[in-house]
Amino acid sequence: MAKSKNHTTHNQSRKWHRNGIKKPPPKKNESLKEVDPKFQRNMRFAKKHNKKGLKKMQANNAKAVSARAEAIKDLVKPKVVKP
C-alpha cells in the first residue's frame, strides 16, 4: 500500500501574498539584556560624561522643537475671509 502524503505547500504562497508579505518593523534600540555588565556600566558612564555629544543633542532638540512650533503655527493660521 502507498504511503499517505505528509506535507505540501500548495496554495500557501497565494495565502501569504493575499495580505502581502511584510518586512518586520525595525527595532529602535537593540536590547542590552544579555550584554556584559561591565560593558553596560562603562557605556552608562560614557553617555553621562560626554559633554560634546550632550551639547549637540541639546542643539538638535532645540531645532526640532522650533521647527515643530513653526509647523503648528502654519497649520493653525486663521483663514482670511474676503467680503
* 24 occurs within a structural domain: no
Answer for the pair 31, 39: CB distance below 8 angstroms, yes or no.
Answer: no
pLDDT at 58: 87
Question: What domain count does the chain have?
Answer: 1
Q: How many CA atoms lie within 13 A of 6 on its CB side?
A: 1
CA–CA gap between residue 40 and residue 51 (Å, rounded): 19
Q: 40: which 3 cell numbers? A: 553596560
Which residue range(s) make up the domain with 71? Answer: 35-77
* 54 occurs within a structural domain: yes
Between the two ends of the chain, the Cα-to-Cα distance in Å is 91
pLDDT at 34: 93
* 58 occurs within a structural domain: yes
DSSP 8-state symbol, 22 = P
pLDDT at 73: 86
pLDDT at 74: 83
pTM of the full predicted structure?
0.36
* 43 occurs within a structural domain: yes
* 71 occurs within a structural domain: yes
Each residue's pLDDT tens digit in the chain (83 positions)? 778 989 999 999 999 999 999 999 998 888 999 999 999 999 999 988 888 888 888 898 999 999 999 888 888 777 777 76
